Every structure is written in structure tokens, then in C-alpha cells.
Structure 1
Amino acid sequence: MKSSILIMLMALLAAPAWAQKGGEKDVAAAVEALRAAMVNADRAALENLTADDLSYGHSSGKIENRASFVETIAGGQSDFVSITLSEQKITLSDNTALVRHKFQAETNDGGKPGNVSLGILLVWQKQKGAWKLLARQAYKL
């Protein structure tokens, strides 16, 4: 009897760690879906992955709302040929996730090939059971 109580107590104490690991995987999947949506200029996916009140900050200081961000990518003004993310770290706090990573991309904006190398901070919020991008800030490395 004592051993079953001890096992149940250990399971209850470990449950938040299990939930957090699962949460990190879900956030990582949302980040990957955003990366793919940006490369594919997928308007529906971009809208599905972002919060209505998105604040999308560029390394230049320019700030876009959700409509502007989606239109810039889906409308082709910003054309990502490829995006590679590295050194990603995810931190969870209740229904909020902070994601930091390095962002390297090949672009073809206005028919001009280019390369981008930035540091990124993403703020994700769980809304109605799904992770939505609430804020993004890029900075020059």
C-alpha cells in the first residue's frame, strides 16, 4: 500500500514536467509550420498560425500587424526562397511560450537575390487549444 501511494505521489509530481515537454514539442511544431508557411507564401497557414493582434517587429524597427505581415509574405513583397532556423530554445510559462533562434534565409525580394541572418524572439500564446504567434522581434546579429 505504501509503495502504491509513493508511486502515485511521484507520478503527480512528475506530471508538469511531462506536460511541459509535450508543450515544447507542440510549440516547435508551430514554429516549423510558420517557417514552411513563410517559404511557401501560404496565406491560409499564415493567418491560422498568427494571433489577431500580432505585433511583428523587423530588425529595421518596422512593426507590422497581422494583416500587413500576411500580405507582405503572401503577396510576394517578401519572398523567402529558404529559411533555416538554428540554436532554438523554447521556454514555457502557462499558456505563453518564448522562442529564441537564429534565422538564416535566402530571399528574392523584387527579383533581387539576398541573404538574411538575424536573431529572433517569438512570443506564442495558446488560444483555444492552438499555439498562435502573438509577437515577433528580429535583431541584427
Structure 2
Amino acid sequence: MKSILQFLIIFCLSITFVQAQTADEKKVAEAVDFLKKAMIDGDKSSLEKIAHEDLSYGHSSGTMETKAMFVEAISSGKSDFKTIDLTEQTIKIHGKTAIVRHKLFAETNNSGVAGTAKLGVLLVFQKTKGQWLLLARQAFKLP
């Protein structure tokens, strides 16, 4: 009987932990998915919608882009993601700021040259007028 009770307590705690994602964390996860789809599609209007006006977009090469530069690079195909797979994602909310970390694995076709990307990524979203917008991004190469 004691072992059954212990099992039930652990089971209930594990369910509570899994379901503990807040409404804002869910909205940020949706914003990340929206960004991912917009990058794969190269959809200029979606990229403009998700990016904050003061976007600072850092590449693993050290190149930095503004919102206009980021949107142009993706929508023109200069930076072309064919696939994007995100793993090990974490989301932390601090007021109107969200910090997202994940690993990104992608197939690319930048300026017509096929390649792959294996990156660690830090995203910073800011809640602006009820919408989570990408304020900053920094990537680094994974071994």
C-alpha cells in the first residue's frame, strides 16, 4: 500500500510539472513556431510581423543585422532555410521579456549554395501591445 501511495504522489507531481507551462510560455512557443515557418517560407510580411523594430539579429559568423537586413536576407533567398528542426528548447519569462534557447539543425541554400547549419540559438522576445516580438537573436556554432 505504501509503495502504491508513493507511486501516485510521484505520478501526480510529474503530471503537474509537465503541465506547468504558463499561458505566456505557450504564446512564446507559438511565436517561435511562427518565426520558424516564416523563415522557411521566406514570407516577407510574416517576418516583418514577428520582428521587433529594434531587432538585433546575430549570426554565428559574427555578422549583425537590423530588422530590415534580416527580412531582406530571408525574403530574397540570400539566406534560405529549406528545413529547420529545433530541439532542447527552453523558455523563461521575465515580465514582458522572454528568453528562448534551443538547438537549431537546418538544411540551407544560401545564395544558391546548399549547406547545413548546426547552431545553438538564444532568442529574446519582448511583449509589445500583447504580441511577442523577436527583439534579439544570437547564434553560435555547435561542435
Query: What letter matches 1:133 in structure 2?
Result: L
Contact 1:38-1:73 at 8 Å conserved across structures:
yes
Pairs within 5 Å for 1:38-77: 38-77=39-78
Contact 1:20-1:92 at 8 Å conserved across structures:
no
Aligned-pair CA distance for 1:106: 0.1
User: What SS class does the counterpart of residue 77 from structure 1 fall into?
Assistant: coil
Contact 1:104-1:116 at 8 Å conserved across structures:
yes
How many Å separate the matches in 2 of 1:80 and 1:19?
32
Return structure 1 stretches of 4+ with deviation > 6 angstroms.
none
Q: What CA deviation, in whole Å up to 9, does each residue of 1:66-93 have, x standing for no partner? A: 0000000001101111001000000000
How many Å separate the matches in 2 of 1:113 and 1:19?
40
Q: Give the structure-2-normalised TM-score.
A: 0.84
List runs of 5+ in structure 1 lacking aligned partners. 1-17
The residue aligned with 1:87 is 88
> For this pair of structures, how many residues does the alignment match?
124
How many Å separate the matches in 1 of 2:20 and 2:117?
35
Aligned-pair CA distance for 1:19: 9.8
1:24 partnered with 2:15: no
Q: Give the structure-1-normalised TM-score.
A: 0.85
List runs of 5+ in structure 2 lacking aligned partners. 1-18
The residue aligned with 2:35 is 34
Aligned-pair CA distance for 1:138: 0.3
RMSD of aligned residue pairs (Cα, Å): 1.4
The residue aligned with 2:110 is 109
